[in-house]
């Protein structure tokens, strides 16, 4: 069977075939460097007056292959649903880089993994064969988004200020129909106040993934930028991973305990945030391992810190900085009820919807993190006894170091 016959039978060509057409392996290197105008199928975005592209099946593939530059934003109707999409990366660039490395076309992956071969090769292959040709959805607020954010207020009452900023951004998105956006946020406060939990809750409401990076374990800027092939163990950066493997152009990247980032002499690993937290500069962000550019200006950045005095002023100027106080007694009761409800969901309706006030009093002097651990242990004990409600005896006594927590907020508020 000839190559032409094989191609005529390919009724569902992969994006890599859409990029390379009928090119043979002998011509691959040259063609990968040429302008994409040589594509077999080229579809133009209509002007605003012509309407919005839409479709399913073959037409849908045509939508994703419409010529566009990295960072270009378009409104597209896909399977009857209108949405905003961003060209996050260019599959043709991944083809070119992979071909330069190996002298042959990147084969399709059966599944997306980061293991095997030269560092970054699996991701380059995934990018080359990406079903949406580098386009990713941008989150737009809906009525359900607003409702969920309003419901989060009573559950996390000590996050009133950052929640108001997010709620305002969501209302603006809902009113205009444009993608949701907010500057980077730094949530500063004592350990255990729920900063990480808040970040994950907001991401869930917005429908984005969360990539958590413990900054105390970060060695240089590599976890964000990737490390190039000259390193002993080169790796793809978290920014590129989140954008390629996710479904949205706005994944949430959570930098936990920002002030604990380790620095060698003369090294400033957080300097990369000067680019990533500036939307204009983040439009063309290069991963050092892949050598590919990404539109990272729509990434949602949240960072937590226990203190800001060790964070450079130039970074603080690029973010919204909020001080998160420990909850007072009334707020803490709401927090405990929310934690209980969250844990009870894991038990598929076994536990009663309400928690005994005596149990609330028993655990209230602990930090939210300790409270969650105590309630989880209490639920296991109660379920083992066949009970659907917690009793005060199910809860372990607060740890001795809870006095430290009292000093940073609770006993001060309660006395």
Instruction: Name the most confidently modeled range: 153-162, 224-233, 401-410.
Output: 153-162
More confident position, 219 or 150: 150
* pLDDT score recorded for residue 25: 32
- CA 374, 207, 160, 275 torsion-angle sign: positive
Identify the band that residue 117 occupies on the pLDDT scale cut at 50, 70 and 90.
low
Higher-confidence residue of 216 and 125: namely: 125
Q: The tokens of 5 are what?
A: 């016959």
Mean pLDDT of 396-415: 45
The mean of the pLDDT values for the chain is 80
pLDDT exceeds 50 at position 402: no
Question: What's the rounded Cα separation, in Å, for the pair 141 and 205?
Answer: 10
Strands (E), 306-387: 319-324
Residue ranges of the alpha helices (H) in 2-134?
A: 3-8, 15-20, 25-33, 58-64, 91-102, 121-128
Nearest CA among 163, 161, 165 for reference residue 148: 163
Q: Please determine, for residue 22, whether its predicted confidence score (pLDDT) is greater than 70.
A: no
Question: Highest-confidence range of 28-42, 77-91, 237-251, by mean pLDDT?
Answer: 237-251
- What are the pLDDT digits (tens) for 341-367? 989 999 999 999 999 999 999 999 888
Quote the pLDDT of residue 12: 42
Q: Is the pLDDT of residue 41 over 90?
A: no
Confidence of residue 53 (pLDDT cuts 50, 70, 90): very low
Is residue 116 over pLDDT 60? no
Q: Are the C-beta atoms of 127 and 91 separated by less than 8 Å? A: yes
* Residue 119 pLDDT: 66
pLDDT digits (tens, 9 = 90+) for 158-182: 899 999 999 999 999 999 999 998 8
pLDDT of residue 317: 94
Task: Indicate if the pLDDT at residue 100 is higher than 60.
Answer: yes
- Rounded Cα gap, residues 252 and 255, in angstroms: 10
Average pLDDT for 191-208: 87
Give residue 408's region: left, alpha or beta (phi > 0; psi -120 to 50): alpha
Return d(Cα 324, Cα 190) in angstroms, integer. Answer: 8
Three-class SS state of 254: strand
Across 322-328, average pLDDT: 88
Q: What confidence score (pLDDT) does residue 398 get?
A: 64
């Amino acid at each position: 069977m000839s190559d032409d016959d094989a191609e005529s039978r390919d009724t569902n060509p992969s994006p890599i075939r859409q990029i390379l057409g009928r090119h043979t392996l002998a011509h691959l290197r040259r063609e990968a460097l040429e302008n994409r105008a040589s594509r077999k199928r080229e579809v133009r975005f209509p002007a605003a007056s012509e309407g919005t592209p839409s479709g399913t099946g073959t037409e849908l593939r045509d939508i994703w292959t419409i010529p566009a530059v990295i960072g270009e934003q378009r409104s597209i109707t896909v399977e009857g649903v209108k949405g905003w999409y961003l060209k996050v990366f260019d599959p043709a660039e991944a083809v070119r880089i992979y071909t330069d490395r190996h002298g042959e076309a990147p084969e399709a992956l059966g599944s997306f993994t980061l293991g095997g071969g030269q560092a970054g090769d699996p991701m380059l292959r995934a990018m080359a064969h990406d079903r949406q040709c580098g386009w990713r959805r941008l989150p737009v607020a809906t009525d359900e988004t607003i409702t969920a954010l309003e419901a989060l207020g009573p559950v996390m009452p000590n996050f009133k200020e950052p929640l108001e900023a997010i709620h305002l951004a969501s209302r603006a998105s809902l009113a205009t129909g444009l993608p949701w956006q907010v500057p980077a946020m730094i949530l500063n406060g004592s350990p255990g106040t729920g900063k990480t939990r808040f970040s994950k809750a907001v991401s869930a409401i917005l429908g984005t993934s969360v990539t958590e990076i413990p900054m105390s374990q970060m060695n240089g800027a590599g976890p964000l930028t990737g490390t190039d092939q000259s390193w002993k163990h080169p790796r793809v950066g978290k920014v590129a991973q989140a954008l390629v493997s996710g479904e949205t152009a706005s994944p949430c990247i959570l930098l936990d305990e920002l002030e604990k980032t380790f620095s060698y002499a003369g090294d400033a690993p957080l300097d990369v945030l000067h680019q990533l937290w500036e939307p204009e500069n983040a439009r063309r962000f290069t991963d050092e391992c892949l050598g590919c550019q990404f539109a990272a200006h729509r990434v949602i950045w949240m960072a937590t810190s226990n203190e800001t005095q060790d964070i450079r002023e130039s970074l603080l100027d690029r973010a919204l900085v909020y001080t998160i106080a420990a909850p007072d007694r009334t707020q803490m009761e709401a927090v405990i009820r929310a934690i209980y409800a969250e844990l009870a969901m894991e038990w598929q309706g076994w536990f009663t919807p309400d928690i005994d006030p005596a149990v609330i009093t028993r655990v209230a002097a602990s930090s939210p993190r300790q409270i969650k651990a105590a309630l989880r242990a209490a639920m296991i004990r109660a379920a083992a006894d066949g009970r659907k409600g917690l009793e005060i005896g199910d809860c372990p006594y607060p740890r001795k170091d809870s006095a430290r927590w009292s000093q940073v907020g609770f006993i001060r508020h309660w006395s």
